[in-house]
Amino acid sequence: MKVHEEKRTVWVCEWKGCEKAFASAKSRAVHSRATHEHIVPFTCEHPGCDAAFAHKHLLVRHRRVHENAAAAAAGDDDGAKPPPRKKRSDAIPPPSLLEMITGFGYAAPETGRVLSCAVEGCKSMFRREYDLKRHVASVHAP
């Protein structure tokens, strides 16, 4: 849907007194059935629950109510809220400058990088001699 296009088709609800507008005929039809005709095809199958919804995603979200209640009744849930999730910044130490430039785990032994640059202060490491020579020529050449 092109929001800023002036000539786009707008589907207005045809029920008297309702002035809602929609971007598609399907959206208007769903609105009309659910709001005005009270037709809600998605019903909860849980015993004793008569909740019904016009959209499937709302029923899926509603089912979690019963799943959470069943877990609490079974003793899987002690009623306490789960601990807050750690932020990425709390869980992982900040990367070194080398890791920021070349990627995490760059110097780890399992990467296979065993050839170190001989220039003092340079921490670059390589798997192949060719890559080391190219690095020295391009980065450290006068």
**Domain 11-73 is classified in which CATH homologous superfamily?**
Classic Zinc Finger (3.30.160.60)
pLDDT at site 66: 83
Q: Name the one residue in this structure whose structure tokens are 């799943």.
A: 67
Between these two residues, 89 and 23, which has the higher pLDDT value?
Answer: 23
Whole-number percent of the chain with pLDDT over 70: 69
What string of DSSP letters covers 64-94? HHHHHHHHHHTTS--SPPPPPPPPHHHHSPP
- DSSP element (H, E) containing 22: strand 21-22
Distances (CA, A) of 48 to 51, 57, 68, 90: 9, 21, 16, 45
- 6: CB partners within 8 A, 6+ apart: none
The domain locations on the chain are 11-73, 88-139
pLDDT at site 46: 87
Question: How far apart are alpha carbons 118 and 115 in whole angstroms?
Answer: 9
**Is the pTM value of this prediction over 0.75?**
no
What string of DSSP letters covers 90-118? HHSPPPPHHHHHH-TTTT-GGG---EE--
pLDDT in tens, 24-78: 999 999 899 888 988 888 898 988 888 888 888 999 898 888 887 777 677 655 5
**Cβ neighbours around 125 below 10 Å, total:** 20
- Residue of 28, 35, 34 whose CA lies nearest to 14: 28
